[in-house]
Amino acid sequence: MTNVLIAGGTGTLGGRIARYLLADPAVQLRLLLRAGALDKPEKARTVAGLVALGATVAEGDLKDPASLAEATRGVDVVVSAVQGGADVMIDGQLALATAASANGARRFVPSDFALDIFNAPAGAPMFDMRRRAGEAIEATGIDVVRVLNGAFMDMMLDPDTADVVDLQKGTAQYFGTGDEPFDLTTVEDVARFTARLAVDFSAPAGVYAISGERTTFNGVADAAERVTGTTLARRSLGTVQDLREATAGAANPWAAVREWYLLSMLTTPTFAAVENSRYADVRPVGLDEYFSSQQKKAATDA
Ligand X SMILES: NC(=O)c1ccc[n+]([C@@H]2O[C@H](COP(=O)([O-])OP(=O)(O)OC[C@H]3O[C@@H](n4cnc5c(N)ncnc54)[C@H](OP(=O)(O)O)[C@@H]3O)[C@@H](O)[C@H]2O)c1
Q: Which of 4, 5, 14, 221 binds ligand X (CB under 6 A)?
A: 14
Does 82 engage in binding with ligand X (CB under 6 A)? yes
Contact in structure between 262 and 167 (CB atoms under 8 Å): no
Q: Which of 29, 31, 81, 221 binds ligand X (CB under 6 A)?
A: 81
Residue 292 identity: S
Q: How far is the CB of 82 from ligand X (least distance, A)?
A: 4
* Segment lying near ligand X (by CB under 6 A), choices 48-56, 59-67, 213-221, 235-243: 59-67
Selection from 195, 209, 197, 221 nearest residue 270 by Cα:
209
Q: Which residues contact 29 (CB under 8 A, 6 or more apart)?
A: 4, 5, 6, 18, 21, 22, 50, 54, 55, 56
Residues 17-56 that bind ligand X (CB under 6 A): 32, 34, 37, 43
Q: How would DSSP label each residue in 114-174?
A: SS-TTSSPTT-HHHHHHHHHHHHHHTTT-EEEEEE-SEEHHHHT-TTT-SSEETTTTEEEE
Q: Of the two residues 8 and 178, which places its CB atom closer to ligand X in the complex?
A: 8
* Segment lying near ligand X (by CB under 6 A), choices 12-20, 161-169, 193-201, 249-257: 12-20
Q: Where are the alpha helices (DSSP H) in 157-239?
A: 187-198, 217-228
Q: How far is the CB of 147 from ligand X (least distance, A)?
A: 10
Does 151 engage in binding with ligand X (CB under 6 A)? yes
Interface ranges with ligand X (CB under 6 A): 7-8, 10-14, 32, 34, 37, 43, 61-63, 81-84, 88, 92, 111, 113-114, 151-152, 155
